[in-house]
Amino acid sequence: MLEQLRDSVKHLGRPQWRPMLTYLANLHEESLHPPCIDLPYRWEEIAPGSSLGVQFGSWDTVHIALDAVASDPQHALYQILNLITLQQYDGMLPSTVRFLENRFHIATKTTFPPLWPAAIQDYIELTKNLEPLKKAMQALEKQIDWFEHHRRVEGGGFYYLDYLDRFWESGVEEGVRYEGEHAHIQPLGCIDATSHVFFMYVHAAAWSELLGQNNNQWMLKAKEVMDFIQTELFDKEIGFFFDRWVVGDGEMRRLSFEGLWPLIVGAATFEQAQRLIDDHLIEPTRFLSEHPLATVAQCDPYFDYWGWRGPVRNSMTYWAARGCYRYGRHDAAAVLLERALNQTERQFEATGKLWEFYHPHGGSPLTLTRDRRMAPIQDYLGHNPLIAMAQLWEILS
């Protein structure tokens, strides 16, 4: 059913990557399910190798769509249309949902990073088809409204519940940013949530223009948030972005990949982006691990080999490469992609599987754990947009 996706990898990238990419294309097809009462289009489960049951949603589905959009744009569009079909009445898009007894069930009442507009934008740029845009814009406006009412911080920025209740709606379970006691009872602006809302504003502005609507309100909101990120969330001392309560505090600073989001979404100044790339992203003692992108800088005292404390998600490497490409740093993007694809292929050859996350120093994924107990899930589609990574690498080569 996904012939276009399978055909696209036959001559893609380096020859040694192609068995792995073919396996991934077949995995996409094996993960397909027919429409159901909750989802109007065929859909892919995010982790067919998981023992946790059939799941759909969160940023995993966005990564699946991004992996397919260049070769099978209609299939990619279906994944995002299915995703926004799950939007609640108040505008919240729930995090991962589980499929039980022919229905989807929301496990937790939390949201997830709103990155899905990237897949719609890629679809539009490729196909020039604006037909899905009205529905996407309606969903985006509702989600923006939800963030503005439920995750806005007085004084500037937005936050995720991670700060208060450890629900990990940022997608980063047990993140190092929340180690230790914090002096603030009320949340302050978080670098990831604030960057993601900026990302929504930028797409709302672009889509409004395409739909022939006035986009002034979205442009103004985007500029306001961008100024806040550039001035309040950038630590000039070390050239990195942090949550607002950490900026300037050497004791609390944690070099985790969430500080890269302004680069990824285009909220950093050109100078900030270049410093971030040179001093941190492609610095071998920080994020440029043997298999990049280490999710915590290797020089950070909290760097470890479990969860999001060092192990590599290829999806985050892909986002970082897109950010480098956005700021004209094709050299950095190519290094990230080539290293990640080479190391993923090396582990595929050794195990015959694709993994939820990888060892930053090239070791076996089976030496890592998710939460000090469970090993990474095998054949995890949701964090492995390897086809998209190889396609971007070809553009850069």
Give tens-digit pLDDT for 192-241.
999 999 999 999 999 999 999 999 999 999 999 999 999 999 999 999 99
Give the pLDDT score at 105.
Answer: 84
* pLDDT, the chain, mean: 94
Is the overall model pTM greater than 0.95, yes or no?
Answer: yes
Count of beta carbons in the 10 Å neighbourhood of residue 183: 6
Mean pLDDT of all residues in 360-365 = 97
Tokens of 38: 């909750």
CA dist 54 → 81, 123, 228, 374 (Å): 19, 26, 40, 18
Of 285, 297, 226, the C-alpha closest to 257 is 297
Residue whose tokens read 């996407």: 136
Tell me: pLDDT of 83 over 80.
yes
Residue whose tokens read 């991670």: 162
In the chain, helix, strand, coil percent, each to 5?
A: 50, 5, 45
Give the pLDDT score at 49.
Answer: 76
Count of beta carbons in the 10 Å neighbourhood of residue 376: 24
Whether 28 and 36 have beta carbons less than 8 Å apart is answered as no
Give the pLDDT score at 52.
Answer: 77
Give the pLDDT score at 365.
Answer: 96
Distance of alpha carbon 148 from alpha carbon 146, whole angstroms? 5
Q: Are strands 32-33 and 97-100 parallel, antiparallel or unpaired?
A: unpaired
Digit-coded pLDDT (tens) for 112-127: 999 999 999 999 999 9
Strand segments (E) across 132-235: 234-235
Give the pLDDT score at 183.
Answer: 46
Mean pLDDT of all residues in 180-188 = 60
Give the pLDDT score at 362.
Answer: 97
Amino acid at 45: E
Tell me: pLDDT of 184 over 70.
no
Between helix 314-326 and helix 58-68 the angle, nearest 10°, is 60
Least confident of 24-33, 162-171, 257-266, 286-295: 162-171
**DSSP one-letter code for 383:** G
